[in-house]
Structure formats: C-alpha cells, structure tokens
Structure 1
Amino acid sequence: MGKSTLLNHILGQKLAITSRKPQTTRHNMLGIKTEGAIQAVYVDTPGMHKGGEKALNRYMNKTASAALKDVDVVIFVVDRTKWTDEDQMVLERVQYVTGPLIVALNKTDRIEDKAELMPHLSWLQEQLPNAQIMPISAQHGHNLEALERVIAGYLPENDHFFPEDQITDRSSRFLAAELVREKIMRQMGAELPYQITVEIEEFKQQGKTLHIHALILVERDGQKKIIIGDKGERIKRIGTEARKDMELLFDSKIMLNLWVKVKGGWSDDERALRSLGYGDL
C-alpha cells in the first residue's frame, strides 16, 4: 500500500524496507524529520493481518493497533480504489480515533481518468466523515509537501524529543537485518511465505570495514533450498544487493556473510519470537 515508501520519501532517504508483497513491515519504526522548529516523528507500523492465527500475526496486529493510542495524527494509507479485508480492519479501528485523521489515497497518479476516483472518495468520506482525504503518490512524491503541511498544522507545540540529525530510533543491527529481509522478499515474491526472519549475529567495525554476519531463519528445508538457489546463486544475489544498500546507509565498506538455518515453527512460538526481538505478545 505504500506506508514505508511514503516514510522514505518524506525523510528523503531509505529507512524502511519495501517490497511489492503486502505487509512487509513487521515492527513499529520511527522516522524522524526535523526542519527548523518542526520535528515530526512518524511511526511506520505493520499492516493488519486478517485471521492472525500465528503468534507472529497476532504480534503485528497488536503492534499496529497499539500505535493508534500514542500519536497526535493518524495517516491511513490506502491504494487507489482498491479495498481489502485488511483495509476494512484498519477502518474499523481508525473510525474511533478522536484526534486528526488523514486518509492518504496513494498511487492516484496511475489513474488516468480521475472521475473514477469520485465514487470511492465519496464512500471513504461517508465511512470516515471527520477524516481529511488527500490523493498522493508516495513513490513519485506527488502532493507530499501538501501532506506534510497538513500534518505540521496538527502537531502540538513541544520541545524536540530527538537531536535534529537523528532519523530513527532503530539500531544499526536492526536496519541491517531489515535490508537482508527486504532483498529476500524482493527476490522471492510469492515464492516464499511470510515465515522468514533475519538475525544479526555479528556487527563489528574492523578498520575501514564493517563485518556483518546475518542468520536467515526459515521453517522448512524446502524454503532453505529456495533461498540458497541453484549452486548458491540466489543467496549471492541477495547478499550483493543487501551489501550495496548497507554501504550507502552506513557509509562504510561492508563484508556481509549470510547463513540460512531451519527452525521449525518459529513464527508460532512466542518464546522464539521474543528472542528474535518481536517484543511482548
């Protein structure tokens, strides 16, 4: 739907991972933008998961819902005139938000006949009468300056919470793990299910080189074979693409080593999830 793409474009640099697969985001991530007297702290949340049978799904739904209680403005990002079961889940939560609500109608630049939007805009306004609806393009930056001005108008006066050069609350280890996971999801597409995570086992600067060892956890042997690929070609591509992004992010030469390990049932094991940084369930 473009939440993470929107955050990256507003910040002016890549922070949150993106892929064509919905619900790529798994954790709340702060994106911090400071311009003069205004400091906006954006919370990129996981998308809602219908069903939520596994512990991982429950964690993501709980994380996304909890974020609504602690923010000054809610931005509900939807994809043009598409409407999914997950969108409906979000709507059923944000309709009770008492503070400002913005519906960011994303990818509207892809609609040639804007008249097609009118019935959907009217329907959205009926569902959320107190919301301000704004057509945008997260990828191409259309109408994002106007969106930021609206957001800034809603922010309360307060001291800045973060130094003006800080852009996130997440550690370098976390960002490195997310970049590896992004490349896997982009390589796999629909081939690989959601039961995959990445853990950084070593993150050490030696001279001018940053050495990173990443463990990729999957649930079945077949998934491991898919990630490694024929003669290791796929995991090499994943490593090469992740390393390039890491060098830009960390401004350092990177030595990246990847391993794949099978850990059956990790995505439905609450203790395993906590040990992998998924917090309380």
Structure 2
Amino acid sequence: MTDLPSHRAGHVAVIGRPNVGKSTLVNALVGFKISITSNRPQTTRHRLLGIASFPHGQLLLVDTPGLHREQKKAMNRMMNRAARGALEGVDAALLVIEAGRWDDEDTLAYEALKEAGVPVVLAVNQVDRIKDKGKLLPFLAEVAKDREFAAVHPISALKRKGLEDLVDSLLPLVPEQAALYGEDEITDKSQRFLAGELVREQLMRQLGAELPYATTVEIEQFAVDGKLLRIGAVIWVERDGQKAIVIGKGGERLREIGTRARGQMERLFDSKVFLETWVRVREGWSNDEAALRTLGYHD
C-alpha cells in the first residue's frame, strides 16, 4: 500500500443492489466474518458496521441491505430506508456492482449516492468470473461514462484480489484523525445479534427459494456459563406449513441448521456454544412494521 501522511478514520457506506457481494467485501476488509452471506438476494436485512483497521487508517464500513425497486412488503420498505439512511453522516461511499452487469437497480443505487453528495468509489466485484478479460475494460469505460467516481477498482471480494488498492483509494476520502475504535474491535453489533444472524444465514442457505424470506430469528436466551455460551434461538415463520418445512422430517433439517450455526458461532466467538432452536408461527410478521420492530428490525 502507498504511504499516507497521517492516520485517517471515517465512515464509508457500502451500497449496491442485492446480491452483488457487499457483505463478502465487508468481511474481507474487516478480516472476520461479521456479515452473513448466501447466494440469495436480500440476505442482509440490517445495517451493520464493520471496523477495518490498518496501520495508517481505519474504515468504518456501513454494510447495508441491497437497494431494490420492488417494495412489496413492510420489510422490503424498511430495508430500503435502512440502506438510504446509511448515507447520513458518512464521509464517502463504496458502490459495489457485478462485473459485466449494470441494470436499473445499479442506477437506483448510484442516484441515491449522487443525492447524498459524498465521494463515491466504484468496486466492480466478481471479476474472477469474467472469462474474457478483454471485455472488462470496455465495460468499465461504459459504466464510468457520464458518471462521477473518485476511483474505479475491479476486485474479487471472495478471492481478496484488488483490495489493497481499493483501501488506498478510500482512506484519503475520510478525515485525518485517530482511530475511532480499538484495533481488536470488528463491529458495533453484539454477540447476541450476530448469533441470530448466523442462524438466519443457515435458513437462507438451506431452504428453498421463497421460504427464507418468510423466516426471521429472535434470540431469547444468551447467557455465559463459565466457558460455555448458552443460546436459545426462535425461528419465526408465517404459516404452519412453513414450520413443518423448517423442522423437516423427524426434525432433521432443524438439527442441521442448528449444527451448522453453532459451528459458525464457536469460530466467531472463540467459545463453546450450547444452542437450542425452536420454530414458532407469527402470521404476517414480514408485512407488519410493529412486529418487525419487536423482532429487531430498524430503519
């Protein structure tokens, strides 16, 4: 990385349409898995701060739900408001797009950043998937045409390629000041919140295309018992039929979800975990703003 004259620290909003790899990029820059990922759009539902510390600066990365045009349910509208609200008070923004693709939702994200009036760095993610690299430069030129970016970087968040140059472009855009968090801090979210997200990640990964969007997770118990964390998680669904699918034949799917989530928790928390899971029905929770707020959703 290039030398910078002093230490810098500031907030950078990470914006883009759903499923372009924003959370994977935040995790790669922070160096820890703090944002859950899956191959399904709108895996990220909450605004989350990832703290990426470097010798010459600190980037406070605001990971956001993907901006999308369709706002069918209260949860979709709340996620859009959370994404737009993340732009308030930031020093810069990182617009993440998919290499070889620019569509209406990318335009929506760019326009939101333009309205915010902050410098924007463009991260063109998943360049490792482009077989014909000769197509990449014309694509970058087309995207940058008539749009204002402080820098444009082809990257692969998954393979961690191009990230040093990306950081070097972002740090000059944030203020000269001391670090705002300790070097060992990686997020502003609690372990309780992260535990719920890790259970929900397994729901996103293991269930069918539609069902994950009718599920959410609430942590009812989070207790330290010596060297053991005792965690109780409720998986909320909207119908009895969905409950049966989540539980699976003989409880097999629910056990698999719990086993995989527990393993992720033990790695993240560096502790043994005893995890219990239950599935309960709450009709229409995803289209009820009052219910969403009681379940931890905020805009």
Give the SS at the match of 1:68.
coil
CA distance in 1, matches of 2:212, 2:184: 37
Query: 2:113 maps to what in 1?
Result: 94
Give the SS at the match of 1:21.
coil
Give the SS at the match of 2:184.
coil
Deviation at 1:193, TM superposition (A): 4.2
Query: 2:7 maps to what in 1?
Result: none
What do you get for the CA RMSD once the two structures are aligned? 1.5
1:107 to 103, 126, 138: 126
CA deviations 1:17-48 (Å, max 9, x no partner) are 00000121111111112233412111101101
When normalised by structure 1's length, the TM-score is: 0.95
Partner amino acid, structure 1, of 2:114: Q
Deviation at 1:178, TM superposition (A): 0.2
1:197 to 194, 216, 236: 216
Query: 2:227 maps to what in 1?
Result: 208
Partner amino acid, structure 1, of 2:77: R
The answer to whether structure 1 residue 160 and structure 2 residue 184 are counterparts is no
CA distance in 2, matches of 1:142, 1:77: 14
The answer to whether structure 1 residue 242 and structure 2 residue 261 are counterparts is yes
Tell me, which stretches of 5 or more residues in structure 1 are unaligned?
none
CA deviations 1:115-138 (Å, max 9, x no partner) are 222332222112423342210000
Deviation at 1:274, TM superposition (A): 1.0
Partner amino acid, structure 1, of 2:87: L
Q: Tell me whether 271-280 or 189-198 shows the greater mean CA deviation.
A: 189-198
- 1:116-131 alignment to 2 at 5 Å? 116-131=135-150
Tell me, which stretches of 5 or more residues in structure 2 are unaligned?
1-19
Residue identity over aligned pairs, in percent, reads 51
Query: 2:26 maps to what in 1?
Result: 7
CA deviations 1:166-213 (Å, max 9, x no partner) are 111001100000000001101114152412110000001112211100
Query: 1:150 maps to what in 2?
Result: 169
Contact residue 21 and residue 189 of structure 1 kept, 8 A: no
Query: 1:141 maps to what in 2?
Result: 160
CA distance in 1, matches of 2:101, 2:49: 27
CA distance in 1, matches of 2:213, 2:288: 14
CA distance in 2, matches of 1:211, 1:116: 52
The answer to whether structure 1 residue 40 and structure 2 residue 59 are counterparts is yes
CA distance in 1, matches of 2:215, 2:298: 17
1:21–1:32: structure 2 CA closer, same or farther, 3 Å change rule?
Answer: same
Of structures 1 and 2, the one scoring higher in RCO (CA 8 A, sep 6+) is 2
| Aligned residues between the structures | 280
CA distance in 2, matches of 1:18, 1:47: 13
Query: 1:174 maps to what in 2?
Result: 193
Give the SS at the match of 2:218.
strand
Deviation at 1:164, TM superposition (A): 2.3
Q: Tell me whether 61-70 or 211-220 shows the greater mean CA deviation.
A: 61-70
- Runs in 1 of length 4+ with deviation above 6 angstroms? none
CA distance in 1, matches of 2:60, 2:219: 26
Q: Tell me whether 167-176 or 190-199 shows the greater mean CA deviation.
A: 190-199
The answer to whether structure 1 residue 83 and structure 2 residue 102 are counterparts is yes
Contact residue 198 and residue 261 of structure 2 kept, 8 A: yes
